[in-house]
Amino acid sequence: MEPAFKPKITPIDRIQENLVARVERRALNWLCARLPRRVSPDMLTAFGMFGALMVFAGYLGSNADRDWLWLCVAGYVVHWFGDSLDGSVARFRKIERPRYGYFLDHSCDGLATTLLVVGIGLSPYVQLEVALVALAGYLLMSIHAFLSVRVLGELRLSYMNAGPTELRLVLIALTLVMYYAGPEAPVVWHLNGFDLFVGVVGCILVGLFVLQTAQVAGRLAVEEPPRN
């Protein structure tokens, strides 16, 4: 019997230029060296998803009591720990499973981000419609990243010197402002300050997707000119 066909795996150039990349990498390497061997990358992925569920539950619970927002803050930390360490541990121990890890990690990233952003939209601070604009922007940027892996062999993990860790820090800060400021009155039309902030971030992500798409398309057009 012939062995099952396995697609050829080409090396992916990981591009990470976010502000805290160096400090974060040192912290992750320190943690990787000290994690018990029984803690596997899959366990860390599940732990990260649990953190996303904590965030979602915290925002939902904030409709009853703002103290639930502290669960969101803790959830962001748990999510960072699991999401950042799963691949790092696999590479540190040299036990990578490229196709499996890539597929599972990014699938979980999409689901986790959906939980985080929809949770914000179900809180009493941000309207769901506005949160969905931000979610659409994130998912568009994810699509761009995945397409770039296919056509360029590059996995860009940061844009404008910001990556997932910076985004979590921004969301933690936003959550703390929610806690201390409370639900705000409308500022423009029926939108309050939190709506405007989340909406602007979403619009920036959509605009960045359009810009990056144009740049990559231009680059590919030069590399692959029209055939006569």
Task: Answer whether residue 114 is part of any domain.
Answer: yes
**Can you give the residue range of the structural domain that contains 55?**
13-223
Backbone angles phi, psi at 125, to 5 degrees: -105, -30
For residue 164, the model assigns a pLDDT of 82
Task: Answer whether residue 5 is part of any domain.
Answer: no
Q: How far apart are CA 119 and CA 109, in angstroms?
A: 15
- Per-residue pLDDT of the chain in tens (228 residues, 90 and over written 9): 444 545 455 556 666 666 777 888 899 999 999 999 999 999 999 999 999 999 999 999 999 999 999 999 999 999 999 999 999 999 999 999 988 998 999 999 999 999 999 999 999 999 999 999 999 999 999 999 889 888 888 777 666 666 788 889 999 999 999 999 988 888 888 999 999 999 999 999 999 999 999 999 999 999 998 887
For residue 2, the model assigns a pLDDT of 46
Q: How far apart are CA 114 and CA 40, in angstroms?
A: 25
Cβ atoms of residues 79 and 55 within 8 Å: yes
Which one, of 48, 120, 45, 107, lies nearest residue 77 by Cα?
48
For residue 48, the model assigns a pLDDT of 97
For residue 112, the model assigns a pLDDT of 96
Helix H or strand E encompassing 174: helix 164-181
Task: Answer whether residue 1 is part of any domain.
Answer: no
Task: Answer whether residue 228 is part of any domain.
Answer: no
Task: Answer whether residue 6 is part of any domain.
Answer: no
Q: How many folded domains does the chain comprise?
A: 1
Place of tokens 């820090």: 169
Cβ atoms of residues 191 and 184 within 8 Å: no
Task: Answer whether residue 4 is part of any domain.
Answer: no
For residue 3, the model assigns a pLDDT of 47
Q: How far apart are CA 208 and CA 45, in angstroms?
A: 28
Task: Answer whether residue 52 is part of any domain.
Answer: yes
Q: What is the sign of the dihedral through the CA atoms of 137, 140, 146 and 148? A: negative
Which one, of 135, 86, 129, lies nearest residue 108 by Cα?
86
Task: Answer whether residue 131 is part of any domain.
Answer: yes
Backbone angles phi, psi at 180, to 5 degrees: -85, -30
CATH number of the domain encompassing residue 199: 1.20.120.1760
Residue 16, classed as helix, strand or coil, is coil
For residue 25, the model assigns a pLDDT of 85
For residue 152, the model assigns a pLDDT of 84
Cβ atoms of residues 51 and 96 within 8 Å: no
Cβ atoms of residues 131 and 118 within 8 Å: yes
